[in-house]
Chain A
Amino acid sequence: MEDEAFTDISGKPITLDCQSHSSFCREFTVSSPKVSIGKVMVYTCSVWLVAYSVFFFTQNTAVLSSAIIVTLVGMMLYIHFVKVDHESLLVIGSLGLQVSSTYASGREVTTFIEMDKIRDIVINEAIYMHQIIYYLCVLMKDQSEPNGVSGVVPLFQSSKPRLSCLVKVYKSCQEVVSRCQ
């Protein structure tokens, strides 16, 4: 029931909340900081300044109104589809994993992975943009082949916590997963 502070791969602070509902059910929530008002101001101002300078030369008011629409629509799209506030992983032994992410607008996307489709949960390394990072992922069982891996589902995709945080979640997950199998 405690909140722990970690950082993500670019050094921004995030918090990890571990909740142990029972011995075989645990929930991990990674929360990123909210959208800062400063960032919103900077983006809005820059769009409007550009629009105003274009308006200054063209004397076309459509530019200004389109700038307003662009900022409003952009902001809505951003909070609805891009900005994730919380990502949570609910591990229920013998049942499965529930992965959900809550967007800044309140929209929630949830997926569930059955336990008998999961082969394991591992920490893996990958090249992401111009960095090499660790990430937590679920290995999916290949139905045709007992030892094969048919796919990989990465967890905490948008918050991207660092290794120290991943290790904590990983160990805790393994305790539950190994107990029920």
Chain B
Amino acid sequence: MGQRRKVGAVKAPSSQRDSADASGAHSRKHSICMVSDFFYPNMGGVESHIYQLSQCLIEKGHKVVIATHSYGRRTGIRYLTNGLKVYYLPLQVMYNQSTATTCFHSLPLLRCVFVREQITVVHAHSSFSAMAHDSLFHAKTMGLNTVFTDHSLFGFADVSSVLTNKLLTISLCDTNHIVCVSYTSKENTVLRAALNPEIVSVIPNAVDPTDFTPDPSQRQDDRITIVVISRLVYRKGIDLLGGIIPELCLKHPDLHFLIGGEGPKRLVLEEVREKYQLHDRVRLLGALEHKDVRGVLVQGHIFLNTSLTEAFCMAIVEGASCGLQVVSTRVGGIPEVLPEDLITLCEPTVRSLCDGLEKVIAKQRSASVPPPGSVHTRVRSLYTWRNVAERTEKVYDRVAGEEVLPLAKRFRRLKSHCGPVAGTIFAFVAILDFLFLLLLQWLVPDRAMDVAVDATGPGGLWRQKTGKRSETESKRATKQAAETKTQTQ
């Protein structure tokens, strides 16, 4: 009962806004809370995805806040560019920057965030993030619409993936909508979590085209440089790379390798380099910061990706955006990423990859490859964050009209989808969560909580010049006037 009342209360203002704002069908503005364990200062694909997506949604007039766990001394509330508000909640980190999942301890703080920011859609990211699953669970208990984005592919065979898949089934069976980054990833997620494919959308990642522009003057024309940028781990097929390097270097004396990234498989490459005396031709650059990646990419002619599994390979898009010829393995979602004439696909074997590379090298020598500038212009229109935000917005529009399952229906769904044992256990956990929520609502009623001042969204108070100021400071408009006076003194 408490749930339905909340849904009504939350939706009423947005529908009023709808009628007031008569600028087309997509005028409905959402209040979105992105939840993930992974956010800056941690670096990676999920982090930049959340950041870029949020920025584009803010640009479209939605209100976006991000909730993540605290990183070291970075606890509390921070503002990033354009008034993007980030809650660094003090939750205990267990393993690999992922919080402990007890299903309950995060409820008080997450509820506080959802209530004070008047959130309508909770968008959780990454299946590795325990906080994302927790937030989905709590959001459903609180009667909020939920969206989940999956960023990775999983196996089905080993024990850890069996367990993760079970958890994912439970977490996603009553989630309103799921977003995957490629069709392969969608297939994988649908199978793993036993979902209805109709509620799974595919929205690929994007690259910032202004970050990855070609610069042919950086290339050395007396040689052909192959660039590899990936973490040096088994998953990325570094063993294959170790096989390719000696074979090609023997055939082509003007071939150079530039390898960026760090990881346990670095040893393999160092061994190869030692054994074949290729120190001057194979350069290992070590860990690269994201801002340095472009500087490395523009030095090369060919980009090589040897991944063994990949949901959506950002690296090859970045490579192509810098105007490089891309050679990649045909695994996971990679074949869908680039049009056929921009990429050479090979089987994940040393033989096939060498053949593919030889072909591209021959093309490069005969100068029959398209100029970097034209490749860049094609790629920049393929994957833009604005496009991603537009498509995500449609998901939100669809989700906002859907009903959140009331408690009784949720039990039935859990039992029918997750098997009698796990279903019953988690139905019980859902009841406990609901009771805990009632307790919290009694201790600190919703009306005793201050509604947060909006920085973004329809009533956003964030102004451009506030960006200059310290991010920890509150950004109230009245205060600002006083502040500027202080500074002029």
**In the assembled complex, which residues on chain A have CB atoms less than 8 Å from the CB atom of B482?**
120, 174, 177-178
Instruction: Check A131/B444 contact, CB under 8 A, given A125-B474, A174-B482.
Output: yes
Question: Is B112 in the interface zone, CB < 8 Å from A?
Answer: yes
Given contacts A9-B448, A125-B77, A132-B87, 19 further A-B contacts (CB under 8 A): A7-B448, A11-B448, A120-B482, A120-B483, A122-B476, A124-B474, A125-B76, A125-B474, A127-B109, A130-B109, A130-B112, A131-B444, A132-B112, A149-B470, A162-B450, A170-B478, A170-B479, A174-B482, A181-B489
Contact of A83 with B by CB under 8 A: no
B450 touching A133, Cβ below 8 Å:
yes
In the assembled complex, the Cα of A10 lies from the Cα of B254 at a distance in Å of 73
Q: Which of chain A's residues 96-149 have a Cβ closer than 8 Å to chain B?
A: 119-120, 122-127, 130-134, 139, 149
> What residues of chain A lie closer than 8 Å to B445, measured between beta carbons?
11
What are 14 A-B contacts with C-beta separation under 8 Å?
Answer: A10-B444, A11-B448, A123-B474, A123-B476, A124-B473, A124-B474, A127-B76, A131-B444, A131-B449, A132-B77, A132-B113, A162-B448, A170-B476, A170-B479
| B469 to chain A: closest residue by CB | A147
Neighbouring B residues of A149 by C-beta, 8 Å: 470
Query: Closest Cβ of chain A: how far from B31's Cβ, in Å?
Result: 16
Q: Are B448 and A126 in contact (CB under 8 A)?
A: no
The 7 closest A-B pairs by CB, nearest first: A130-B108, A11-B448, A163-B450, A125-B77, A174-B482, A178-B482, A132-B112
The answer to whether A181 touches B485, judged by C-beta atoms less than 8 angstroms apart, is yes
CB distance from A52 to the nearest CB of B (A): 30
B449 surroundings in chain A (CB, below 8 A): 131
Question: Considering residues B75, B481, B482, which has the most beta carbons from chain A within 10 angstroms of its beta carbon?
Answer: B482
Q: How far is the CB of A8 from chain B (nearest CB, A)?
A: 9
- Known A-B contacts A7-B448, A11-B445, A181-B485; the reply to A123 vs B479 at CB < 8 A is yes
Complex Cα distance, B113 from A173, in Å, reads 29
Q: Are A126 and B76 in contact (CB under 8 A)?
A: yes
Instruction: For the complex, give the distance between the alpha carbons of A171 and B481 in Å.
Output: 11
The CA of A123 and the CA of B118, in the complex, are separated in Å by 20
**How close is B463's CB to chain A, nearest CB, in angstroms?**
16
Q: Interface residue count for B (Cβ, 8 Å)?
A: 31
Given contacts A124-B473, A126-B77, contact A178 B485 (CB under 8 A): yes
Q: How many residues of A contact B (CB 8 A)?
A: 28
Q: Which of B416-452 contact A (CB under 8 A)?
A: 444-445, 447-450, 452
CA distance A149 to B470 in the complex (A): 9
A130–B110 Cα gap in the complex (Å)? Answer: 9
Are B478 and A171 in contact, CB atoms less than 8 angstroms apart? yes
Contacts of B481 in A (CB 8 A): 178
CB-based nearest B residue for A174: B482
- Beyond A11-B444, A174-B478, whether A132 also contacts B116 by CB under 8 A is yes
What number of A-B contacts does a CB cutoff of 8 Å give? 74
Would A122 and B474 count as touching, CB distance under 8 A?
yes
Residue numbers in A under 8 Å from B113 (CB-CB): 132
A93 CB to nearest B CB, Å: 13
Residues in B whose Cβ lies below 8 Å from that of A120: 479, 482-483, 486
A137: nearest chain-B partner, CB-CB: B474
Kindly report which residue of chain A lies nearest to residue B112, judged by CB atoms: A132
Q: Which residues of A contact B479 (CB under 8 A)?
A: 120, 122-123, 170, 174
> Cβ of A127: which chain B residues have Cβ within 8 Å of it?
75-77, 87, 89-90, 109
**Chain B residues closer than 8 Å to A122, beta-carbon distance:** 473-474, 476, 479
**CA of A86 to CA of B329 in the docked complex: distance in angstroms?**
71
Q: Which residues of A contact B450 (CB under 8 A)?
A: 9, 133-134, 162-164
Q: Does B472 contact A (CB under 8 A)?
A: yes
Residues of the B chain whose Cβ atoms lie less than 8 Å from the Cβ of A162: 448, 450
A7–B448 Cα distance when bound, in Å, is: 8
A129, closest chain B residue (CB): B108
- Contact A181 B87, CB 8 Å, known A10-B444, A11-B448, A127-B75: no
**Distance from A7 Cβ to chain B, minimum over Cβ atoms (Å):** 7
- Which chain A residues border B486 with CB–CB below 8 Å? 119-120, 178, 181
Q: For residue A163, which residues in chain B have a CB less than 8 angstroms away from its CB?
A: 450
Q: How far apart sit A132 and B485, CA to CA, in the bound complex (Å)?
A: 30
| Contact of A124 (CB < 8 Å), options: B75, B89, B447, B472 | B472
Please, which residues of chain B bring their CB within 8 A of the CB of A125?
Answer: 76-77, 452, 474
Residues of B within 8 A of A132 (CB): 77, 87, 109, 112-113, 116
Closest to B447 in A: A11
Q: In the bound complex, how far is the Cα of B449 from the Cα of A164, in angstroms?
A: 11
Write out the residue numbers on chain A whose beta carbons fall within 8 Å of the beta carbon of B87. Answer: 127, 132
Residues of A within 8 A of B75 (CB): 127
Instruction: Name the CB-closest residue of A to B113.
Output: A132
CA distance A119 to B481 in the complex (A): 14
Interface hits, A29-56 → B, CB 8 Å: none
